[in-house]
Amino acid sequence: MPKKILRVNMSNLEAKFEDLPAEYAALGGRGMTSTIVAKEVPPTCNPLRSHNKLVFAPGIVTGTRAPSSGRLSVGGKSPLTGGIKEANAGTPFAQMLARMRIGAIIVEGKHAGDDYYLLKITMNNTEFINAKKWVGKGLYDAYKDLFKEYGDKVGICGVGITAEILGAMAGVCFNDPEGLPSRYAGRGGLGAVMASKGLKFIIIDEAGAPGVEIANEEVFSQGIKKLRDALMSHDVTKPGGALNSYGTSVLVNIINEAGGLPQRNFSSGQDDRAEKVSGEAKAEEIKKRGGTRPHFCNPGCIIQCSEVWVKPNGKDPVGVLEYESVWALGPNSGIYNLDDIGELNRACNDLGCDTIEAGDTIAVAMEGGLVSFGDGKGALNLINEIRKKTPTGKILAQGTEITGKVLGVTRIPTVKGQGFPAYDPRAIKGIGVTYATTPMGADHTAGYAIAPEILGVGGQLDPLDPKKAEVSRNLQLATAAVDASGYCLFIAFAVLDIPEGLEGVVESLNGVLGVNLTVDDVGPIGKSIIDAELEFNKKAGFTAIHDRMPEFIMEEKIPPHNGVFDVTDEDLDSVF
């Protein structure tokens, strides 16, 4: 049974399976979403009107037994950046989709009425069901309802109240293995694109799925063994290693010590109180409370950096508190209390917000005087303005840049309209080059220069050295290829240091696709994806001026290093 595309037309509520075009046969994940968006979406269209499309695509090895795979890309034109967007999640939904041999779901058109719909997909059928009863309902309760109604074996994708008000910080939410709404393709407002079309949920039931076709089982098995061995031996990814023991929040103390953990809306890079919300402190608290750590975001992950955070009585599980979420809703807002951060994270999950954009927005709102820095309850009240769909809530839901402009704030940490992640580019210059130049808007995952700059993975670079164009470019190309593969980006820690691990990745792709890629093909594959994205953005009106940092980053010195972002325009322009 060959792979198919499911084309979903929301204008007339029709869903049809199509043969996967031959030129898409070797594509997956970001390679698939960016190719389809670049080909089918007019670059100058309004992201929330009918001409935009939302594309879901599992990676090439997603749904197989490849270790730490299971990623899904969601793509479209972003209402936050105005450019092309790919957001990525690890979720059982992705694996189910791949095992059903659906190479992509393309959602197009726009439902004319006020109703929202649920699309149910099985091996033999698709069905649209009115989803009006879940409008205005938080996703924790909605997902419980959906599992009760459709069975606990389905996969769920949905959008929340933030998307209903077409907020540009609205993410696309997937269930975790426990059924919690905590796995997000969060960045860029793609949840608002989904809601704008009248689509509230996608339910997939994989009963009868044939599984992923593997063209060469011997090559595939050889490849995944090499990768597994690399992951199991590297200090960052092995059992009992940094990610397995403390999750992504292991970075809180590390980045704080490096002077690059932004505090109180990027006004400082370090604060002793950050230790209270570190991965080490959180892991200890989870143990006391009876939460889960380590944990996988989807079955088959052997790194297991995820967790389930709970209240002190072991109740009300939130899901994972990632490093980015802890930082954004914590130190960047002057909040150093894990319970406050947990409740803010729960609210974001429940409402369907991207936690990075929400945290940046709260910090800018604090600077603008809506509540004080450090006021955890005040921050929660701000988020709940979105739940109530008030005018204030509607402004906040549009993200950091619009909120800052409305409040007259001049320290607005965004590139291409998207809020900065958890690394200050004045203290860690390479990640700043990535923020500035990726087609995605400020995005750490697009080219994770933290690996060589801070962690000593794939070499050791001075984070304060501004000459980082080449390293950012190489990482961006490699990352685009990883995003297409279906592997978690965190395999890069092992793969950058252990050459056999990278060989294993390439062999596993060859095994699935029946091709003969080599390690030397990784960069060109990534480049072809990024070239399509850059071309889309150029047609949408982007120029070199959009690859620039906000003025305050180049002028305000950040303690403790007291440096500015001093990468030249020439260097930024040389990246692509």
What is residue 178's predicted lDDT score, i.e. its pLDDT? 92
What is residue 298's predicted lDDT score, i.e. its pLDDT? 83
Q: Is 463 helix (H, G, I), strand (E, B) or coil?
A: coil
What is residue 493's predicted lDDT score, i.e. its pLDDT? 93
Burial of 169 (0-12, 13-18, 19+ CB in 10 A): buried
The answer to whether 122 touches 71, Cβ cutoff 8 Å, is: no
pTM of the model: 0.98
What is residue 340's predicted lDDT score, i.e. its pLDDT? 97
Cα end-to-end distance, the chain, whole Å: 40
What is residue 533's predicted lDDT score, i.e. its pLDDT? 98
**Rounded distance, CA 95 to CA 85, Å?**
22
**Per-10-residue mean pLDDT for the chain, 576 residues long?**
95 97 97 98 98 98 97 98 97 97 98 95 96 97 98 97 98 96 97 98 98 98 97 95 94 97 98 97 94 90 94 92 97 98 98 98 98 98 98 98 98 98 98 98 97 95 97 97 97 95 98 97 97 98 98 97 97 98
| Residue 530 C-alpha from the chain's centroid | 17
Helix axes 29-40, 469-485, angle to 10 degrees: 100
What is residue 299's predicted lDDT score, i.e. its pLDDT? 86
What is residue 441's predicted lDDT score, i.e. its pLDDT? 97
Give which of 385, 349, 352 is closest to 162, Cα–Cα.
352
Pseudo-torsion of CA 476, 478, 563, 410, nearest 10°?
Answer: 30
What is residue 564's predicted lDDT score, i.e. its pLDDT? 98
Q: φ, ψ for residue 419 (rounded to 5)?
A: -65, 145
CATH superfamily of 4-204: Aldehyde ferredoxin oxidoreductase, N-terminal domain (3.60.9.10)
**Rounded distance, CA 362 to CA 371, Å?**
9
Structure tokens at 263: 């505090």
Fold of 247-424: 1.10.569
Domain ranges of the chain: 4-204, 247-424
What is residue 124's predicted lDDT score, i.e. its pLDDT? 86
Contacts of 413 (CB under 8 A, 6+ apart): 262, 265, 266, 360, 364, 400, 419, 420, 442, 550, 553
Q: What angle do CA 472, 477, 479 make, to 5 degrees?
A: 90
Q: φ, ψ for residue 108 (rounded to 5)?
A: -135, 170
Give which of 401, 397, 367 is closest to 382, Cα–Cα.
397
**Rounded distance, CA 540 to CA 50, Å?**
17
Burial of 541 (0-12, 13-18, 19+ CB in 10 A): exposed
